[in-house]
Structure 1
Amino acid sequence: MSGVIVTNPPKADAKDVEALAGFGVATVSEAMGRTGLLGPELRPIQQGTRVAGTAVTVLSWPGDNLMIHAAVEQCGEGDILVVTTTSPSTDGMFGELFATALQRRGVRGLITDAGIRDTQELREMGFPAWSRAVSAQGTVKATGGSVNVPIAIDGRVIRPGDVILADDDGVVVVPRESARRTAEASEARENKEALARAAFIEGQLGLDRYGLRETLVRLGVTYRTYDEYVRDGAES
């Protein structure tokens, strides 16, 4: 497998990245029309951490972390390393030594749909990571791959310089061209949710706030007292 290392790809504006960092993954995905999620199998090794940054992408051979070594050189302040493999792999391709090198360069975290290890050390050093697997199985450094090319995780394309946002709920990618628009849409959604939250605190029901009683009628859902329900033989 040959490959390419692309240098200095375009990136989302840092101000837009920081604006997106103020919102949760679920909010951002909803603001984009319920898109951008990298799938439920990517899980954090820590809890209570949210990161946002620009993607440095890696395409590696399974069980081989050579291209992660190559990618470190391409990483800088505010980046998030995003790693996938040419076929499914759960090997522990990333650990504490990689995190040490990346942290020194200002990288904010790791996303991989392969495996990681040294998870206790990563938590202790405060380096956030999301992965498909945790595995002590090591790797080799023998096969070429690519850095800063478009990759795909769970069918979702990630390009270098796109915005990656990750928290306890998962990971979402925001195309770099739409980062500002998505931040604005996320803010509008949060403002709308704040109004709904206040209404629910006061006792309003979602059925009434969202007009869902009419939806139930349209779908043929009816209300029955328990006696009526039993009389009609529903519990027999």
Structure 2
Amino acid sequence: MRTIVVTDPPRAAAEHVEALAGHGVATVHEAMGRTGYLGPGIRPAHLGSRIGGTAVTVLSWPGDNLMIHVAVEQCRPGDILVVTTTSPSSDGMFGELFATALQYRGVRGLVINAGVRDVAELHAMDFPVWSAAVSAQGTVKATPGAVNVPVAIAGQIIRPGDAVLADDDGVLCVPRADVVRAVAAAQARSDKEEASRAAFRRGELGLDRYGLRGRLTGLGIEYVSADEYARRGDS
């Protein structure tokens, strides 16, 4: 691993990131062909937050949060700090003191493929966090790593400046080069979902709206009355 800090990487446009955040993780994930999801292992420490921001990435050694301290200086308003480690770790690498420093700099939240602590304090100060673990286990500040280099979480590559979306459904990364296309695709998906929502409110069934009835026959699904089912002895 090259121990390096990349300063001032290009970032996705703030207005596009805001638009994507408004649609939510699940909608954007579907709209983008089900790509970019960081998996069910990264979960919110508390429910109820929905954020979008640009990634400042950190690659740290397990149990060592030195490079998070280094990364704070590189953060701008509208960023989300994204942290992973060179091998699996559940140690509590981040707490409310880090959050205090990041809030001052306008950072919107944290995504970390390791542990966090001070969960009650993070909730009270309204600093949203998505993590792989919650752990009181502390860390050291001893080993160099990297800031603003590509990192991987659950097989997904996050590059500095990419759009990161996070809500109760998890975390999604949209590459900076794809953000404009993602905004258009997410809006189309949201419009389609709203049309379906209105139809369901009128009583229409998904079987009919999505043209599924014909598929049932091909799958060998048959409809029988309760009496016929009993006569067959299928129960």
Query: What interval of TM-score do these two structures reach, taking the shorter chain for normalisation?
Result: over 0.9
CA–CA distance in 2 between the matches of 1:27 and 1:41? 19
- 1:208 partner letter: D
Identity, in percent, stands at 68
Counterpart residue number, 2:23: 23
1:7-66 per-residue CA deviation (whole Å, 9 max, x = no partner) reads 111111111111112111000000100111000011111221101000000010000000
Helix, strand or coil: the match of 1:21? helix
- Check conservation: 1:2, 1:144, Cα contact below 8 A: no
- 1:18 partner letter: E
CA–CA distance in 2 between the matches of 1:165 and 1:2? 28
Counterpart residue number, 1:176: 176
- Check conservation: 1:164, 1:172, Cα contact below 8 A: yes
1:141-193 per-residue CA deviation (whole Å, 9 max, x = no partner) reads 11111100000100011000000000011000000011111011111111111
Stretches of structure 1 that go unaligned for 5 or more consecutive residues are none
Counterpart residue number, 1:207: 207
Helix, strand or coil: the match of 1:26? helix
Stretches of structure 2 that go unaligned for 5 or more consecutive residues are none
Give the deviation of 1:215 after TM superposition: 1.0
| Aligned CA-pair RMSD | 0.9
- 2:36 partner letter: G
Within a 5 Å distance, the mapping from 1:85-100 to structure 2 comes to 85-100=85-100
Counterpart residue number, 1:151: 151
- 2:168 partner letter: D
Which deviates further from its counterpart, 8-17 or 74-83? 8-17
Counterpart residue number, 2:222: 222
Give the deviation of 1:2 after TM superposition: 5.1
CA–CA distance in 2 between the matches of 1:75 and 1:85? 19
1:125-156 per-residue CA deviation (whole Å, 9 max, x = no partner) reads 11110001000000001111110000010001
- 2:124 partner letter: E
Helix, strand or coil: the match of 2:122? helix
Helix, strand or coil: the match of 1:107? coil
Which deviates further from its counterpart, 2-11 or 175-184? 2-11
CA–CA distance in 2 between the matches of 1:165 and 1:92? 23
TM-score, length of structure 2 as denominator length = 0.98
- Check conservation: 1:67, 1:145, Cα contact below 8 A: yes
Within a 5 Å distance, the mapping from 1:120-139 to structure 2 comes to 120-139=120-139
CA–CA distance in 2 between the matches of 1:61 and 1:230? 63
CA–CA distance in 2 between the matches of 1:229 and 1:151? 56
Counterpart residue number, 1:232: 232
CA–CA distance in 1 between the matches of 2:145 and 2:200? 52
Helix, strand or coil: the match of 2:213? helix
The count of corresponding residues between Structure 1 and Structure 2 is 235
